[in-house]
Amino acid sequence: MTAHVDHFVRDRLPPPPLQPLMLRDRPELAFPDQVNLIHHLFEAATAKGWADRPFLRSPRITLSFSDALERVDRIAQVLVHDLGLVPGNRVLLRGGNSIGLALAWMGVVKAGMVAVATMPLLRAKELREIIAKAQPSVALCDAALLDELTLAQQPQNVLRTIVPFNLMDAPGCLAVRAAAQPGHFHACPTLADDIAMLAFTSGTTGIPKATAHSHRDILSACEAWPRHVLRARPEDIVMGSPPLAFTFGLGGLLVFPMWAGCSVYFHDKPYTPATMVEVMAQVGCSICYTAPTFYRQMAAHIQPGSVPSLRISVSAGEGLPDATRQLWKQASGLEMLDGIGATEMFHIFISSAGDEVRRGAIGKVVPGYQAKVVDEQGQELPRGQVGRLAVIGPTGCRYLEDERQQRYVQAGWNFPGDAFIQDEDGYFLYQARDDDMIITAGYNVGGPEVEDALLKHPAVAECGVVGKADVERGMIIKAYCVLRPPHEGNAELVKELQDHVKASLAPYKYPREITFMTQLPRTETGKLQRFKLRQMANS
């Protein structure tokens, strides 16, 4: 049985033989068979005496846990009674990090729907692909980001209603609809294994993948890395730059603080490295989340003691070079808390903090998970040898109707696509990606997606896109292009191609370097040899 009336997601999950093993043998992972993630977290906050503590902060307003609960309940009422949604329906969410987006996400999940959060920088083409995959009938969208979503809505009949939020008193907006609803909502009695969210991630083929996480999955994640490694306190104030549409951001900037009784500060403008440091000092930030690239840029704006409240700097989203770790430590006086996670696993599963940090290593496996380094046949390798990382734990990969499930999950183990070494003491040392994924400034980008955009320009006959190592961003996107006559490769065409990609894809996906070639390396059968392009880019 399930509380979901709409079985769309459940019917498209991988068959049991292709699903990952789930380790849930620790006492803290014992949840009832019926549990609603948001109801459970708010109830726990009340039981621990946090109801009147600040939870969501911005320059304009601070909401306590009880204030936030009332607003979440009103949003849930809108979804059910005003918009006529039923449990299991998908609701697309679009917005920058804000209290409005956080409340909307919680309202969707408490009402028993499936939250489908999308990156705010996505263009109409990318949104159309997500809509086609998730089939949401309703979207809650920040008023400032309506244009691209409206364009994505037009060619298809799936998304019938877009409700704007972060608008004051505008007819039809979420705030006006919510104000007309009662302030108490009985949480949907979801089963622990009902799906709460679909998180989209780029694939190496450029086709987005939707990974499903249940109410139990997300609660289990709260009891793993946050409990054993982060160890946040109720008095902590959390800030960061990762989007809530990214599971790194959703966990760090909403779910985990809620679980620990912390408050989260959402700024009213996107952060620059300088403003991040400035605002951290102003609001008393004690825990910061961002990617290594941003920490490296922030280092020029911070010095020991300039943000006296800051005690934890969490780095994830891309590989952390030791040079960046040492630069930040020298600038801020703080040792960085590194971690590796995956959208498919929801959050961090290898990490170490404090005295357990070891230079050059990400850390040890988080309690509740198991990890090993294996060869191509899945056999564990001796310590010190490079191989594929394999992980199991209380969360795991379940793609929505996707043949790539068989590559990510093998014999019950999750394979995130990273090459690692494990040393004799159990520390994991990151080596590289073992596939074509490009991770640039914390964003995952599939090379073929960028290739497809470039090939739509009339000057480009062929192209190949790879990642190039970069001190500032970890990797940059580099394109190799063969031109159609009579086009000539020059600086003007480079900019034109870059602008062309920015116009159809999220801006962070544009190639920062373009090299023009007379031909691309290919096999005898004509297959592009990206490994040769990677060698050229990184030689």
Q: Distance between CA 277 and CA 306 in Å, rounded?
A: 9
Confidence (pLDDT) at 139: 98
Q: Which residues does the chain have with pLDDT short of 50? A: 524-525
Compute the Cα dihedral for 327, 330, 332, 334 and give only its sign.
positive
102 by DSSP, 3-state: which?
Answer: helix
Token pair 């490994």: residue: 531
Q: How do residues 283-299 score in pLDDT, each as one tens digit? A: 999 999 998 878 888 99
Domain boundaries of the chain, sorted by first residue: 438-538
Confidence (pLDDT) at 169: 76
The answer to whether the beta carbons of residues 288 and 280 sit under 8 Å apart is: yes
User: What is the chain's length?
Assistant: 539
Compute the Cα dihedral for 445, 451, 454, 455 and give only its sign.
negative
Alpha helices in 185-272, H assignment, sequence order: 215-222, 225, 247-250, 256-260
Confidence (pLDDT) at 525: 43
Per-residue burial over 316-349, b = 16 or more CB atoms within 10 Å of its CB, e = otherwise: bbbbbbeebbebbbebbebbbbbbbbbbbbbbbb
- Which residues neighbour 252 within 8 Å (Cβ) at sequence distance 6 or greater? 238, 240, 242, 289, 314, 347
Confidence (pLDDT) at 293: 76
Nearest one of 341, 342, 31 to 193, comparing CA atoms = 31
Confidence (pLDDT) at 45: 98
Confidence (pLDDT) at 205: 57
Cis peptide before 486 (omega within 30 of 0): yes
| Domain 438-538 homologous superfamily, CATH | ANL, C-terminal domain (3.30.300.30)
